[in-house]
Amino acid sequence: MSDIEQAIRDLISEEVSDMVETHVEDALSNHSEFQDLQYKVEDLEQKVDDANDDDSIDMVVDHIIQKLIGDSKKIVAKTYVESLNNQIAQLKSELANTKPTE
Give the model's pLDDT for residue 86: 94
Give the model's pLDDT for residue 100: 65
Q: Would you say the pTM of this structure is higher than 0.75?
A: no
The answer as to whether 95 is a domain residue is no
What does the chain look like in DSSP terms, one character per residue? --HHHHHHHHHHHHHHHHHHHHHHHHHHHT-HHHHHHHHHHHHHHHHHHHS-HHHHHHHHHHHHHHHHH-TT-----HHHHHHHHHHHHHHHHHHHHSPPP-
**pLDDT (tens digit per residue) in 37-69:** 888 888 888 877 776 667 777 788 888 888 877
The answer as to whether 93 is a domain residue is no
The answer as to whether 9 is a domain residue is yes
**Residue-number span of the structural domain to which 65 is assigned:** 3-73
Q: CB-based contacts of 48: which residues, under 8 Å, 6+ apart?
A: 56
The answer as to whether 91 is a domain residue is no
The answer as to whether 87 is a domain residue is no
What is the tally of structural domains in the chain? 1
The answer as to whether 97 is a domain residue is no
The answer as to whether 98 is a domain residue is no
The answer as to whether 80 is a domain residue is no
**pLDDT (tens digit per residue) in 83-93:** 999 999 999 99
- Number of residues that make up the chain: 102
